[in-house]
Structure 1
């Protein structure tokens, strides 16, 4: 910031300087201390006006030493230091002043914002900038700095309150369109943000920053192809693309389901640097998504060889092992990830909680509830976010500790955002239901079902999980009248219809959903399994499920469906292949073990059938009539030979 910006009120005392300049030769003690301070200030101002900055500041410093409690004097000294470009010293003096004029507040705010390296620094700057807005000579600079500080703090509403009236006055300002886009993005008003950022992007000075913001706005709207196209254009136009630029491009391509192109971009990055960790990790994630577990493990291992303490590589490989149910290999990776993030806690905010979530999830999947509890308790030391709430719900739900869980959630502290609070509300309703307060639970869920789209989705989903199929059908139908074509509600309606025994209506609804979203893996699998379980349309069922498996090759549920349809078709070898893989990925799913038992019985492997069905019973099947069905199958087997 140039020195002339801070021409303070001190320079207005020129007449006083001329009068008091004669006092330079007054002998010590000839005037009292107050007069001496005044004389020093006058001399300091004169020297500064003449360009003798060092001498002027020294005189100011002496005056402050003689009268350190004078807020006005300290402010004058701070303004002089600011005009001289001595930022840190100016900050120190202005902060020491007990009170500041609007000019002092403005200058202190500008200086604090200029070098703010932390959230706390920015918050301090905002306090002073807000107080300094009244100082007219700096009003534009203060408002600009204030807007930028609000945006950096994530306070989009405050930034927009400043930007909106300015835009009305200066509708062609590219900077205002840039900050308007940033503020509206923070407010979740993405389509409006997109329009402003497009305008800012047309001005070379702001093009790069506006493009970066526009990419994020498009991604937040799910427009991944458009976002990827923008990044690809920027990467190619910039000459030799940077490695981070290539990885960002590939990330968006993955989210746009253009995985083949993403692999090309990542391979380009790795050809330039085979040990570029971010590219290796994303390459592993793509392989994981494609169901290529061995390939995913290979790239994660390469990433860890290049960067043994990279937390993303450690977590990525741990998640792969968790998905493959290789718990004993996942645990030490998570322990090491925790050690790493604890060493860099300041640079990785929230990373310890993320690791704790993964550790809790692993133990819950492994049904090691006692081992999960310490990690869950660690998460509960702070307001819970969505995943923390979901993990706690699964902890109580899996053990059917409904009353205890309800008490926990009634007192739980949750992050104050709409999605988290919505999840907490739906969990409370579910636990109320199973704790015996059915009417209260139904009233709460019905209220949610009649609310906004996300509320309706949550209510219908909770009803499905709680086997309230009749209510789920009614609520989903009413919600779809208000939100026609919503895929999540349509899927829930179709599933609830099937669970209610309305198979023809369920089939019609699933087909409607697949007509609009042909790659909806959940709908493909559900409709295919529905046919296979009823022994109908088996050829089509196989095609539907094979497509679901191609979309998500590591889904144990989809592999179970594929094995089951092959069983129904009489292809027992393929049935055993897929059912065995499903049992590996879903070792605690009673339906998978029941299906294996059916296969073994058909093959005459009586003891294997008995073991599979007994395992299914141990896992407490909750499908209506399933427990009785499995017991009948066991009763029909010949008695086991005496040991």
Structure 2
């Protein structure tokens, strides 16, 4: 295209020239005109006819490239932009803008050619050398990248891109120690902004591996401590501070940074969600609940906060609250299967087994049968004292888990299965399963006590029963149930006086009156021929819970006057 034709286009796209900041072909009062957003090299313009002509054509080429862009002709536009940059390599604004476009279009070799020529110009700035270093890295020209980055740092020690390129080049060249020296040099710069410091910490994280290198972690921590969050107003920087503290293994500082971010921008829902999860992970249930309530306030139709609030309430043993929250979560998202099982757990914890069974039936109707649906149903039937159905459901859960989730078949599960066998009077099976439990977890005090008490109650294996119960008591010396078992096995062994001491201790440590304890106490007093005390103990048992067997013992035992009760 003739130059005159090209120049004729300039007036049509004058606005494009101001966008890129191309220098005027003529001279201002000082011989310089600064492109918007870019520094000049600091030298006088060359006003030789050839230089002026090249700059004029560069303007025109850029304008033509802009026209191609307007018509979505990207390749033609880039060709004109590149031509413009070659014609005027001393125009840093033009070179940087054009090479950025070329890099985005993956024409890295062309960007490299233009930058190589641009850095030869007198007074070429640090940013040009840093850009060249970056391009050299991408092209695998590691040594050239190192050389260019060093010059960038020398010309502007506060330019982050120079350190980044140099450190990355060393790291790619398997010179990690040299890369860390570059980061150390960067960390010594004063008067840099928060962005510089945050980028530095990020590179420490990438190159240094602070998770495994304590020295690097300490260096990164010192740099991040220089970022004064009280002065930050940029939300992206505040979020990066929080994320970097979290990456450095300091969640409390991350939490503080996120709270600072929320003080300025309270509507950032994702930040609140992160804080809620963070508080949940650290078992700070109070603060977790605060954030979850705020999430509900901001988005009342989101089921997730209700679900997590239910989990918090369940952990805090606020079972009614947990039930309410899980019900709301299911109402808002009836397809979220875990909510049904957590609701059932809350209902079981609140001693509402019928409600739990109804919830589990909902889940079974909507989803495939699962370990959870069968296991929790087994626990619900156990609470209802329907031990046959409890055993049936637990065996179904075992079958499902054996092919889909064997990790669920742990000592807790088998303890429940063993108890169901015992309750259905299948004592040999109960013993087999409970021994399996103790093989899996020898210090499981509940299983030690349960098997020992089962034998003591039936008057079998009394020596081994006593050993198991002694182990349980040693693990939980104030557990009233275990103390009762100890008294009972001694009673069965004929050591009645010793049994009395243990039984009185069991009653002392019981959180609430227990009919079984007073029934056993009555039996022990009767064996010691202290009949009035026996009658008093049995009467207390009946006051707590009606029982025909205890009522008969009371009726058959004479009063203090020697008369049988009416």
TM-score with structure 1 setting the length: 0.42
TM-score with structure 2 setting the length: 0.46
* Larger of the two Rg values belongs to structure: 2
